Structure 1
Amino acid sequence: MPISSPLTGQLVTIFGGTGYIGNYVAQSLLVRGARIRLASRAPFKAQDLKPLANLGQLQLMPCDITHEAHVAAALDGASHVVNLVGAFDGDLVKLMGEAPGAMAQMAQKRGVKSFVHVSAIGADPSSAIDYARGKGVGELRVLGAFPTATVLRPSIVFGKDDNFLNMFGGMIEMLPVLPVFGPDAKLQLVYADDVAEAVAIALEHPERHGGHTYELGGPEQLSMIEIHERIAAAQGRKRSFLRVPDGISAAFAAMPGTPMSRDQWTLLKAGSTVAPSARGFADLGIAPKPLGLFLDKWMLRYRKHGRFGAANERAKLRKSG
């Protein structure tokens, strides 16, 4: 159902919109009747959005945000801007710090009405971790150039097709015993749709949310070991989890070719939860949804015999527990 919105008919440029969160943000804006220009190095990755848009409502544009001419072209005629650019490799300070600052400066000069910069919990311009430092520099540069921008700092984002729950879901399906890195690290997983709604609301009301920073986390804090246990239970599988000592985890992350980098391990160990004093979903008028609302349904694909064996497997687990 279309939503009545100040964004109806407005042109919103989304930088980095072909990533995971970008798909959700685009859908949230399309339903509000906004016109979207999705600017990315690989715009072809957003082809699946085309059936969701009306004629002329979606434009896919190649864009390298480190090239001023590309950014200027993407901003041409735009009334609102969202920056979703994020990465774990390359020059992260340039990609997530300097480039967004230049982007915000150009947007300010062009009279853009609202600018939403999506950062991350743990962003810190003085951090020794490249990712956190890049995100922190980005916040400073964006607010310095566009003081009424809204900064959103989500925790780890989950969704049906994410690379977080599904990575662990596949491993738990296959392995009877699974090592857990950072088993006691607390995460406040946040639903992708809720993050997208926060972006849209911030764009709609810069007079209310501009110049503020919001930390976005779900309604519960879970440790890594608890997340693994919940995924196993949703699959109807009995699994053993081994707590990996921090020293071994750090050594593993430092090895080449592993699925987790040193920076990712350091960020995981620190956890990702909303600071008690931070503005959050409540200040945006959003009630975030818990992981448990979706997990049983999403783990159907990993259950033995799928939905047909689900009830039987859960009954066996209850009896054995």
Structure 2
Amino acid sequence: MRTPIVSKNRTKYGSLENPSGVEKANSTHSELDSANHDQDSSSMSDCESSISGPCNDPLPSLYDGLIRLQEGDRVFNLINRRLVSGLGAVGRSQAEIVAIHKNPFRGVMGQARTQSFQIFEKAMANKCGGISNLKFAWYAGSKQELCKIVEQGFGKPDDNGLYGRGVCFSPDDSPLDCLKDSVIDEDGMRHMLMCRLILGKTEVVHPGSDQYHPSSEEFDSGVDNLTMPKKYIVWCTNMNTHILPEYIISFKAPSASNGFAGVQDSSLRPTSPWMPFPTLISVLSKFLPPTTIALISKYYRDHKEKKIPRPELIQRVRQIAGDKLLISAIKSYRTRK
């Protein structure tokens, strides 16, 4: 039975990104670790183990090295709640989890990856005064890509022109932000990877940056915003030591054309009449760095040359500048008129 992404019992579940939440980050990590330990120490059913033979479940494992978690499993419920809180009202009503698969890190290489991650976490804590800044985060892609990452690690950094040349993640409370990068497979499902990241001390990376490593020895990773990040950037030099791919979540959700992937808080959406893009760019140049303005200008030229449609242009500008700044710019334009 497929599990709808609906939480009947609204148990308070503190954000992993908010140390002052009901449950602190460390306690949530401990809860997952405890759940994993209980699961590993108990005997697995046929449906949980790729070794003990086939089961009657209509959805097979993504590949033989993964373990299918069962509905009601503690880890299943934890991840389910994270997805519930991150997808918002539309997600809760229109999306459903089909399966969650766990990376068991079996064999010599699997154990080496987890031990390496633990060593680097301890080293980062020593470097940063006892705080490694360990976070959960989402990464979306095709089913084949995510399986390959779980099996072999990350093979190449992102190079989409937005946040430098690193591997870009969305915080665990913002799965909607990376949903647009998911790919619908032959069964109509999307897939996202839940990872642990060692971030250390972060620095701001502006859209349009060509950065590919920390700007100095003081920093370890990047974010789009220091106070309320929506993007984590792990540089390519650290992508297979500071990232631990733990779970693949398979689910069904409406396409972006139905509005799901673009859903945001309606109170923050720019809803003004038409505003000339050259004027908007001029206003934004007072607030954003030149590299970011250059990227927005490039997208505008692409639109004029009919390389991208206007809705895509608007979506990219919203992603780069943020709705709050755009609303401010629109209000300023209205006032002048």
Same fold (TM over 0.5): no
Q: TM-score, structure 2 length as denominator?
A: 0.26
Q: TM-score, structure 1 length as denominator?
A: 0.27
